[in-house]
Amino acid sequence: MSLEVCEGKPCVSRTAIDVATIVGMLGTGKSFEDVEVIFQIDREQILSALRYASYVTDHLPLQLPAQNSGSPGSAE
């Protein structure tokens, strides 16, 4: 990752396309083929982005919501 490329966000190898964009496109229903054509990348670059996203989300620290000490609907 480099601040000069994708503002420091993780990018698809040999591109300036950030991983979140690829994951987002697939999440909206675009096919692998659509993403390949739209961004002029190959299947391995897409899979690499997905592996990276999977790794990052698997290693994020678990943050549970704060427990509210009052009863539901009560003002604190």
pLDDT in tens, 29-60: 999 999 999 999 999 999 999 999 999 988 87
- Residue 43 domain flag: yes
Q: Is residue 14 part of a domain?
A: yes
pTM of the predicted model over 0.95: no
16 domain residue, yes or no: yes
Inter-CA distances, 55 with 50, 59, 68, 72, Å: 9, 6, 32, 36
38 within domain boundaries? yes
pLDDT number for residue 23: 96
Domain that includes residue 40, residue range:
6-56
Please check whether residue 45 lies inside any domain of the structure: yes
Rounded mean pLDDT of 1-7? 63
Alpha-carbon distance 46 to 63, whole Å? 29
| pLDDT above 60: residue 74 | no
In a domain, 1, yes or no: no
Average pLDDT over residues 5-21: 87
Establish if 76 belongs to a structural domain. no
Number of domains the chain is built from: 1
